[in-house]
Structure 1
Amino acid sequence: MEQELEMPVDTDIAKGLTETEAAQRLEQYGPNAIETQKKESLFLLFIRQFKSLIVAILALAAVVSFSFGDWLEGFAIIGVLLINAITGFILEWQAMRSMDALKELDVTMARVIRDANVKEIPSEKVTIGDVIWLEAGDIVPADAHVVEANQLQSDESALTGESLPVEKKPGEPDENAPLAEQIHQLFKGTAVVNGNGKAIVTDIGAKTELGKISQMVESATQTSTPLEKKLESLTQKLIWITAVLAVLYFVFGLLQGKDLLILLKTSIALAIAAIPEGLAIVATISLAYGMLRLAKKNVIIKRLSSVETLGSANVVFSDKTGTLTLNQIEVNTICLPEGTLEVRINTEDKKQALVSGDAELIKNRSYQKLAELSMLCNNAHITADTATGDPLEIALLQWINLQRIHAEDLIQKNRRINEIAFSSETRIMATIHQNEAGYLVAVKGAVEEVLSRCNNSLDAGQENSLDEVGKKKWVDISEQLAAKGLRSIAFAFQQTSTLPADDVLLQDLTWVAMIGFLDPPRLEVVPSLKSCHDAGIRVIMVTGDHPSTAQHIGETIGLTDASVKPMTGRDIPDLKQLNDEDKKRLLETRIFARVSPGQKLDLISLYQEQGDIVGMTGDGINDAPALKKADIGIAMGLRGTQVARETADMVLKDDSFVSVVAAIAQGRIIFGNIRKFIMYLVSCNLSEIFVVTASGFLSLGLPLTPLQILFLNVVTDVFPALALGIGKGDSSVMRHPPRDPKSPILSKPHWMAVIIHALLMTGSVMFAAFYSAEVLGINAADDNNIVFYSLSLAQLFHVFNLASGNSGLFRNEITKNRYVWLAIIVCMGILALTYYVPVLREALTIQNLHPIEWVVVLAASLTPLVLIQILKRLRVVW
């Protein structure tokens, strides 16, 4: 690889850069960021508002108006086009700002060594010469040269196309080697899949290999989300319906010998009435606003299309640690060969309290050896302000800090020379150290795995033979701890004068002790689980932990009862050869323990084959395939690896299952809001279409001018629709089963309701026009004004008809939405201006109305509201 910059030679690998040096280099080289797609300028954003079929139809209407000498109407249509563009520009700009705010919340972090301390910083602040610390699950923040490696492997498939992980080693970089063969280099954006190591940053931002590729490739065309496609399909249906009506009306009018100008104006009015100008705009701002609301609930949604799927989820696979438990892991029970101690760790007061057991055991060699191994076989880092690393290893360091052990002396006397990283396959971690006596192999891991490699036990300070009976005793103790909800980790070692060969490195170990870690269950998830049950969502615990521990947590939080037993990974049958009985047993199981990553993937597939929409929580690199496979991948923001967070559709900033349920509820609310404002806009547009069409076929003249229809669509429609789109929604959303994601936005019952709403508004307004003309004897101009104001107010009042069918008449999600009231006040004010401002009066052909005519307007606008409320109580409409 061609080096753009020479590797800094003044970087101390042990201490890293100083903060001063880092700040200087950040100023010199700039941020470590790749601008994958240039932001659209505000000018282009404004121009884009005119690139649509809607604008084309309106522009054609303006041209027709000009051609017939109707200059005021033509300029008015152009003015409305500008107003619509400005409105769309402002709302889309706000949506872009909202998305930028979301991106700032979802910051990728990197661990660097600065001033001899390991620190977590935003990856954009990584600079040339930084020493980065990486382990399995991390995303490489920049191109870097490997200086230390412990079984370090990187997945570079996204960069090179090579499917197998590449082993990384220290060494001189070969600049002429192909990218896939540069084993001494790490590349930005690739994933560490095994081991750990250190590397010195050589290139950042656009000068990385990923940056160079990004610059060579033009920005891909942005594809529409499923929701956008559904909205587009809906708009096209409305336009086609109106086109057919307009053609029929035009042909019918010609056969009747009607004036050509009237026919063209009516056709233009119909075309304008068909277009829901605010549909796409309101949908965008509704999604963005809903995503920001989720962010306040500690949920970062990474893809707009995920919002649709989120509200449809009916199965959630949840991890145990940190999601259903507090992830406040602490040392609780210490099981030595000589006896057991139960302790309480107070990290604030830096004290260890003995709850039960003989305090004299602390003086035993096995206790001291356990503390030493916990210190040596550990990759966590604790400073006065922060703690980084695996929560279990942090808990060990917190316990060690309360012991009479000189950590620095211990580390200096036992210099680490190698490491065998933990993996889900071996379930063991080991570090190799050189000391005065030779070589020390420090081991920790799952009880069964460590026991299988032990031949001796450090009993009463002496190494004694450990037979099968002795091993069975330790397994029984582990089972007892698991039944109490504790997670057990075993410790062993091997001290030799010569470095053992790789094939015997983890054999012939000496058993030392076992520690039970407490991770209390989250009791706040209890109502959330009940909420899931009421909402038709099945919650399934999937964990790699001990089955007894999983069952204890499940019973405590109310997920299962004592009669329901977990299924272990060993008991899961081959999903490719399932019979009906096995399938039924799998689908009825609520806790799966000791499962492998592959089994998680298979379980998700099983449920998806049943037609379920599956959400999956995960935190590790081995969870990434399952997170990708699930319909909604949910990564942990606190303890989750970067690979998991990059793969997932959403990230929980607090790792709590409560946030998962809140996200599902908000997803349902967002989609419900979108459905509400679509029903509102479509019913309003249909009422305009029906009014114009009915008047034409009945030879009642032109009840609404094209300009009046434009005014209705832009003013009285958009503001209430926007208010519906950003409402807090129906509080009962989690008491209903999830919707089918394959179903359209408006189902048949919704379409039936929309048509009934539109017909009632049309009927009321047309009756008012007929009554005014035939009974009151008013002229055509006043009759037009009655239709205009009646329909305007009827559409404004119609917003209250969009409340859920089971909600109260006066107290519901619509009446409690302050934005609805604000929208009504604003629209009422604008309507008042049309009556009192001369320029607007002339443009909209407004006449002075008598008090009796205003009474007719008010009655006509309130009648649909009353009738629809009656029909809703009778369950005729939604």
Structure 2
Amino acid sequence: MPGGEPLPDWCSLAPDEVRRELDAGPTGLTAQEAEARLQRYGANVLREEARETRLQVFLRQFKSVLIIILIVAAAISFLVGEALDAAAILTIVVLNALLGFSQEWQAGEAIEALKKLLVQHAVVVRDGERQEIDAAGVVPGDLVLLEMGERVPADLVIVEGTSLEVDEAPLTGESSPVDKAPGRLPAETCLAERSNMTFAGTTVVNGHGRGIVVATGMQTEFGQIAGLSQRVGDEATPLARQMDRLGRDLGLIAVGIAVLAVAVGLLQQRGLLEMFLVGVSLAVAVIPEGLPAVVTLTLAIGIKNMMRRNCLIRHLPASETLGAVSVICTDKTGTLTRNEMTVVRVRTPDAEFEVTGAGYAPEGEFLVEEKPVDPLADRGLRLFLRTVLLCNHASFALEEGGWRIFGTPTEGALVVAAAKAGLSREGVPEAATEFSFNSTRKRMTIVYPGEGGHVAYVKGAPEVLLARSSRLMVGGSAVPLTQDRRDALLGELEGYASQGLRVLGAACRTLPAGIEWTADAVEEDLTFLGFAGIVDPPRPEAAEAIRLCRSAGIDVIMITGDNPLTAYTIARDLGLSSEGALTGADLEAMTDDELEARLRTTKVLSRVTAEHKLRVIGILSRERAVIAMTGDGVNDAPALRKASIGIAMGIKGTDAAKESSDMVLVDDNFASIVAGVEEGRREYDNIARFTRYLLSSNVGELVAIVGGLLLGLPLILIPVQILWINLVTDGLTALALGLEPAERDVMQRRPRDPDESILTRNAYLVILVLGVWLGLLTIYAFSGYYEADIDRARTMAFTSLIVFELYNVLNFRSFRFPLHRIGVFTNPTLILAILGSLALQAVVVYVPVFNAFLGTAPLALADWGFLALLGLPVLLVGEAYKMLLLRLRNAAPAAS
């Protein structure tokens, strides 16, 4: 409680003890006392984080080191009189920021999640009367009334409950509604098993009851998780870290080369102003001005591709981060499974029936030994299905988007099973009476009038019904239930449970005249009809997605609030290999080192809390894993924020989960995550391609300028020409490289090391060799003309670099496969970009206004032919090198 007072273990107290602890009477608080407590404890609201303003989101786009360097370069260009250069650089910087801002602001428009999840009203008893108040005014000690369909306004201890069931999935991850009833539990009972309490943000799905408020606002379980989520900081993505590192490296290189070149020029007796201009040119040549914009545009295009794969990206870099994932921590319900409880087996005393068809669609068959049978021809099966249909309040209907259940999922599964056999409630008279289900009785009975009297239809825990039964339905007739038959059925029941099935039994009884209509009297001397095995079936595509993860070197860990046996069974059915399952209690009993060792072999974690999930992420991060964490509930929000990429469910996810995530899974399907990983890997490969391509081009420019300087030649390229190459012609082709299709083996490779630079040692070597080659060829093209016409010489150098780089871009389509293997026309956008770059270069060569702007002069057709032949070996040698590598890779297995 506030003020540093220790919190009691509320679940361990009886209702009267809770009232004494909170000084609350059985008829609720008085209005005066409630107002005093509101002043003492504060409003029943969550303390919220301030959302970023539009300005803050826009300014965040300038945090990249590379962007800062470009702004500095623009400022220097302006100071030395190169206003056009400065304007060009700043324009690309601002456009890049606007694009990033647009993507992030649109994705972040969700309503404040944590505020929305608390209900807006509550029904309480004050001054002995029922009152509806604003939920913010609920205080500890209030007596709250709980009705079906209502959200729970605060943490409560149950004092009364009739058939009370609560959906706690947003808080605990439990897939099935939880029975609630008064009682005492051990203080160490885990959150998901506190059946004598309900919690803020959960929903009553059946029955009604009353509860005493024991915590409000930030003191609730919901509020504590919200606070934990707010304390978890956002982590920089691998791509952002690599780009910052690249920006720092390029900045240091630019300054070093510029200073060295100025010093060499001054030693050669060149003028200070001329050398300062050379220094600026070199700095511009080193920095790939178009790189941030191309990265941003590529990620934006990737976001649209992700959306087609049902992955809604909320932050630009997250799409690429997904491609670096090495561990996926996934929820079970709705992600690996359909989140549609389904009857898959029915065991009557006569036979076992397999029921086909998954989900809530009333389509399927009844099989015995894999052969279809008429379910209505078997009297025992027909009576079982009629019983679970009539002893039921659920219904289903076809709505836009599919079949929907009204009622609890388990009851809905039974109604759908009856509908598959052709049974419905049409023509059934109104029930005469009902004895509701609760966690103590573990059974439910509805009595209907029938021929010759009334019939009681009973469903519930099979072992409870067997204990209250004296007969079995065998061969269409009721026969005595012997102890041997009872033991045999209990053994089969254990077999169902061991397979992770939720099991419900059914029984019936024709009531004798004059019977006392009480639960104990009616629910005696029953005829046991059998039991049904119910499961939330795995998604059919999930098994293939897990297999694909295995081939891609991605570890999959199921983390769920559900029952450990159910979770392990689903994992086994999906091909997720695990040495048993660990519960939250198991995690708490282990040291971090012990848990780290177990996570190498045990891939199913159940009954876990928000703190457990954060701990698992921390342990997995020890090995530099890139972790994707899925979640849908309030309890998942802290882990979603802490993970490398948090993935919220789009259908059943709470707003709190979505707001804490980097990505929203539109269809809640695990297979869509794997499709997103493939797209993310393609994005990263393409970013690596065009980054290396742009840098090799810049090295060519650098070698041309420095080489010319060392040879005593005039400045080969002026800054505005370099900017034209970097921003226009290179920018077009680099962006087209960002659309390169994924290589065919992209999901057969292990995840990349997140700390590995985008520029590996081999990449540096390729960039250096190609860059030097391009630079020397450019010097050669310049040297034959500068003495006669400096403008024509610079135009030859300017155009030669563009022609050579257009050959070079084909080298960077793949680092491993030659063109004939990937297909020349598999990226038609690149072909158009090459033709467009040539057309633009022709414009600046032949249109007078561009001659003045860029310092160019018209070239003869023979000049173009000469440059085309001069650059052709750049492509041919690259292709020959890749063919040699491919041959060596193919020969390696045979050699071994």
Letter in 1 for 2:290: G
- Pairing of 1:519-530 with structure 2 (within 5 A): 522-525=539-542, 527-530=544-547
Letter in 2 for 1:680: Y
Of the three residues 837, 855, 862, the one matched with 1:845 is 855
Check whether the contact 1:95–1:289 (CA below 8 A) recurs between aligned residues: no
Give 3-state SS (helix, strand or coil) of 1:257's partner.
Answer: coil
Structure 1 residue 842, shift from structure 2 partner: 1.5
Of the three residues 791, 795, 800, the one matched with 1:785 is 795
How far, CA to CA, are the matches of 1:695 and 1:686 in structure 2? 14
Check whether the contact 2:330–2:631 (CA below 8 A) recurs between aligned residues: yes
Match of 1:767 in 2: 780
The alignment status of 1:753 with 2:766, answered yes or no, reads: yes
Check whether the contact 1:319–1:541 (CA below 8 A) recurs between aligned residues: yes
Give 3-state SS (helix, strand or coil) of 1:247's partner.
Answer: helix
Check whether the contact 2:472–2:481 (CA below 8 A) recurs between aligned residues: no
How far, CA to CA, are the matches of 2:853 and 2:705 in structure 1? 19
Of the three residues 741, 744, 747, the one matched with 1:731 is 744
Of the three residues 372, 397, 417, the one matched with 2:390 is 372
Match of 1:8 in 2: none
Give 3-state SS (helix, strand or coil) of 1:515's partner.
Answer: strand
Check whether the contact 2:469–2:525 (CA below 8 A) recurs between aligned residues: no
How far, CA to CA, are the matches of 2:165 and 2:316 in structure 1? 38
CA change 1:602–1:432 in 2 (3 A) is farther
Which 10-residue stretch deviates more, 615-624 or 703-712? 615-624
Match of 1:587 in 2: 600
Structure 1 residue 628, shift from structure 2 partner: 6.1
Check whether the contact 1:323–1:655 (CA below 8 A) recurs between aligned residues: yes
Check whether the contact 1:444–1:491 (CA below 8 A) recurs between aligned residues: yes
Structure 1 residue 834, shift from structure 2 partner: 0.5
- Pairing of 1:58-207 with structure 2 (within 5 A): 58-65=74-81, 74-77=82-85, 80-81=88-89, 84=92, 87-88=95-96, 91-92=99-100, 95=103, 99=107, 150=164, 191-192=201-202
Match of 1:118 in 2: none
Of the three residues 255, 262, 278, the one matched with 1:243 is 255
Structure 1 residue 715, shift from structure 2 partner: 0.8
Check whether the contact 2:345–2:353 (CA below 8 A) recurs between aligned residues: yes
How far, CA to CA, are the matches of 2:699 and 2:534 in structure 1? 64
How far, CA to CA, are the matches of 1:763 and 1:649 in structure 2? 46
Letter in 2 for 1:786: M
Of the three residues 871, 879, 883, the one matched with 1:869 is 879
CA change 1:260–1:311 in 2 (3 A) is same
The alignment status of 1:54 with 2:70, answered yes or no, reads: yes
Q: How many percent of aligned residue pairs carry the same amino acid?
A: 26
The alignment status of 1:516 with 2:538, answered yes or no, reads: no
Letter in 1 for 2:838: M
Give 3-state SS (helix, strand or coil) of 2:820's partner.
Answer: coil
How far, CA to CA, are the matches of 1:496 and 1:512 in structure 2? 24
Give 3-state SS (helix, strand or coil) of 2:347's partner.
Answer: strand
Check whether the contact 1:616–1:627 (CA below 8 A) recurs between aligned residues: yes
Match of 1:597 in 2: 608
Check whether the contact 2:471–2:481 (CA below 8 A) recurs between aligned residues: no
Structure 1 residue 277, shift from structure 2 partner: 1.8
Structure 1 residue 367, shift from structure 2 partner: 5.3
How far, CA to CA, are the matches of 2:337 and 2:463 in structure 1? 28
How far, CA to CA, are the matches of 2:582 and 2:58 in structure 1? 58
Structure 1 residue 845, shift from structure 2 partner: 1.8
Superposed CA offset, 1:523-544 (max 9, x none):
5455544433332224456675
The alignment status of 1:686 with 2:699, answered yes or no, reads: yes
Match of 1:653 in 2: 666
Check whether the contact 2:729–2:802 (CA below 8 A) recurs between aligned residues: yes
Match of 1:671 in 2: 684
How far, CA to CA, are the matches of 2:671 and 2:737 in structure 1? 26
Match of 2:489 in 1: 473
The alignment status of 1:270 with 2:282, answered yes or no, reads: yes
Of the three residues 398, 421, 434, the one matched with 2:416 is 398
Of the three residues 532, 548, 554, the one matched with 2:549 is 532
Give 3-state SS (helix, strand or coil) of 2:743's partner.
Answer: coil
Check whether the contact 2:238–2:755 (CA below 8 A) recurs between aligned residues: no
How far, CA to CA, are the matches of 1:455 and 1:327 in structure 2? 32
Letter in 2 for 1:62: F
Check whether the contact 1:273–1:688 (CA below 8 A) recurs between aligned residues: yes
How far, CA to CA, are the matches of 1:606 and 1:221 in structure 2? 17
Letter in 2 for 1:77: D
Letter in 2 for 1:260: L
Match of 1:714 in 2: 727
Structure 1 residue 192, shift from structure 2 partner: 2.5
Superposed CA offset, 1:804-840 (max 9, x none):
2332323527852222122222222211110121110
Letter in 2 for 1:537: I
How far, CA to CA, are the matches of 1:139 and 1:717 in structure 2? 59
How far, CA to CA, are the matches of 1:225 and 1:630 in structure 2? 10
Give 3-state SS (helix, strand or coil) of 2:202's partner.
Answer: strand
How far, CA to CA, are the matches of 2:254 and 2:525 in structure 1? 83
TM-score by length of 1: 0.68
CA change 1:343–1:680 in 2 (3 A) is closer
Give 3-state SS (helix, strand or coil) of 1:331's partner.
Answer: strand
How far, CA to CA, are the matches of 1:786 and 1:247 in structure 2? 27
How far, CA to CA, are the matches of 2:580 and 2:852 in structure 1? 77
Superposed CA offset, 1:189-241 (max 9, x none):
x7428877999xxxxxxxxxx9xxx9xxxxx9999655334323322321221
Give 3-state SS (helix, strand or coil) of 1:810's partner.
Answer: helix
Give unpaired runs (5+ residues) of structure 2.
Answer: 1-47, 121-145, 155-160, 172-179, 183-197, 210-221, 227-231, 510-514, 890-896
Letter in 2 for 1:516: G
Letter in 2 for 1:76: L
Structure 1 residue 293, shift from structure 2 partner: 0.9
Check whether the contact 2:340–2:537 (CA below 8 A) recurs between aligned residues: yes
Of the three residues 273, 283, 292, the one matched with 2:295 is 283
CA change 1:281–1:366 in 2 (3 A) is same
Which 10-residue stretch deviates more, 52-61 or 34-43? 34-43
Give 3-state SS (helix, strand or coil) of 1:847's partner.
Answer: coil
How far, CA to CA, are the matches of 1:596 and 1:620 in structure 2? 14
Superposed CA offset, 1:707-729 (max 9, x none):
11121121112212222224333
Structure 1 residue 245, shift from structure 2 partner: 1.1
Structure 1 residue 752, shift from structure 2 partner: 2.4
CA change 1:688–1:538 in 2 (3 A) is same
Of the three residues 326, 332, 356, the one matched with 1:314 is 326
Structure 1 residue 510, shift from structure 2 partner: 11
Match of 1:704 in 2: 717
Match of 2:132 in 1: none
- Pairing of 1:397-436 with structure 2 (within 5 A): 397-400=415-418, 402-403=422-423, 405=425, 413-414=433-434
Check whether the contact 1:149–1:195 (CA below 8 A) recurs between aligned residues: no
Letter in 2 for 1:403: L
Give 3-state SS (helix, strand or coil) of 1:764's partner.
Answer: helix
How far, CA to CA, are the matches of 1:581 and 1:535 in structure 2? 27
Structure 1 residue 705, shift from structure 2 partner: 0.8
CA change 1:761–1:596 in 2 (3 A) is same
CA change 1:754–1:719 in 2 (3 A) is same
TM-score by length of 2: 0.67
CA change 1:343–1:702 in 2 (3 A) is closer
Give 3-state SS (helix, strand or coil) of 2:819's partner.
Answer: coil
CA change 1:95–1:837 in 2 (3 A) is farther
How far, CA to CA, are the matches of 2:545 and 2:762 in structure 1? 31
